[in-house]
Amino acid sequence: MQNEPDVVVKVYAELMDLFRANKLPSIAYDHVFHGLEQTPAALEALGSRKSWGKVVVRPRRAASSKL
């Protein structure tokens, strides 16, 4: 592929078409870590290779602003 840059462009264009058509979904680890206090567990999942794709940590929403 390194010697055929036009093939690389074609392959990436076809991959993007598959993503847009939802025929090739993005990959995310099936467990979502909730709250920043779960960040160490998320990093452990990454470091131990117990996860695949993307690992997501969602911060908790504050009930009210402290500002």
pLDDT at 67: 63
User: What are the residue boundaries of the structural domains of the chain, listed by start?
Assistant: 5-58
8 Å CB contact between 41 and 33: yes
User: What is the per-residue pLDDT for 65?
Assistant: 63
The string of pLDDT tens digits covering residues 15-52 is 999 988 988 776 777 789 999 999 999 999 989 988 88
Conformational region of residue 51, where left means phi above 0, alpha means psi within -120 to 50, and beta covers everything else: beta
User: In three state form, how does the secondary structure of the chain look?
Assistant: CCCCHHHHHHHHHHHHHHHHCCCCCCCEEEEEEECHHHHHHHHHHHHCCCCCCEEEEECCCCCCCCC
